[in-house]
Amino acid sequence: MGVLGVTSVLSAVALWGSSASPEVTTSQGPVPEVAPTRWSPAGALFDGSPDALGHHFCSASVINSPTADVVLTAAHCVSDGTGTPVRTGMLFVPGYIEGDAPFGTWTVTGAVVDQRWAADGDPDLDVAFLKVERQDAPPIEDVTGGFHLVVDPGSVNDVQAIGYPSFADAPLIRTGATARKSEHQLELDAPGLYDGTSGGPWVRDGNEVVGVTGGYEQGGTVPDVSYASYLDDTTSNLLAQLTGR
């Protein structure tokens, strides 16, 4: 991960709007009736159970998909790249803010990564798609909305990179312009993203995901630059593998 200054923390209201409601709960069941906002597809991945969230360890976002139940993150969030099985069973909490889950918690029931990542952690393929479900709830995209996945976005993109640092219960956003590090990597030259923001979306024009924090050095190890695997036809094929469409 790169490093992101604390001064870039945005207020909860500015990002997600007010979600205070006595009906909000982390347990499974019908989702609270909270209107989605611009950034509501973005959220954090947690250990634990729906009734007892553990620690969040990565970031992710809902994307538009034929099945409306798909979340995008970094492959290294669900697979260590040494041939072990892809991890499932964790929880995705969209719009999470200061202990509040305005759109409920969603269980990861399926996940796919490229086999070349699974075998040896190829940094050019640090992308994963997750299937999420919640008991007695419609598909997550119907609840939060979703970002549009852009394949082959080009080298230069003005983006807002969103993520949840492991030390904070609020999202951070970093704004900057991407550049091409290599054929299969984008970089974002700005004070980067703390540990925990891996898998968070790089959003162009408010609703288009052109990358996720990850890739080279699993997103970067120096303060001033972060990375993302370049999204291409391999990414589209991976999504189709999960949805069957």
pLDDT tens for residues 50-87?
889 999 999 999 999 999 999 999 999 999 999 999 99
How far is Cα 245 from Cα 234, in angstroms, rounded to an integer? 14
**For 189-225, what is each residue's pLDDT tens digit?**
877 677 889 999 999 999 999 999 997 776 556 657 8
The pTM assigned to this predicted structure is: 0.88
Residue type at 58? Answer: C
Structural domains of the chain, ranges and CATH numbers in brackets: 16-146+237-243 (2.40.10.10), 148-232 (2.40.10.10)
Q: Specify the pairing of strand 91-94 against strand 42-49.
A: antiparallel
- Beta strands 106-113 and 148-149, pairing class: unpaired
pLDDT in tens, 165-192: 988 899 989 899 999 999 999 999 877 6
Distance CA 150, CA 203 (A): 10
Count the Cβ atoms, other than its own, within 10 Å of residue 141.
Answer: 21
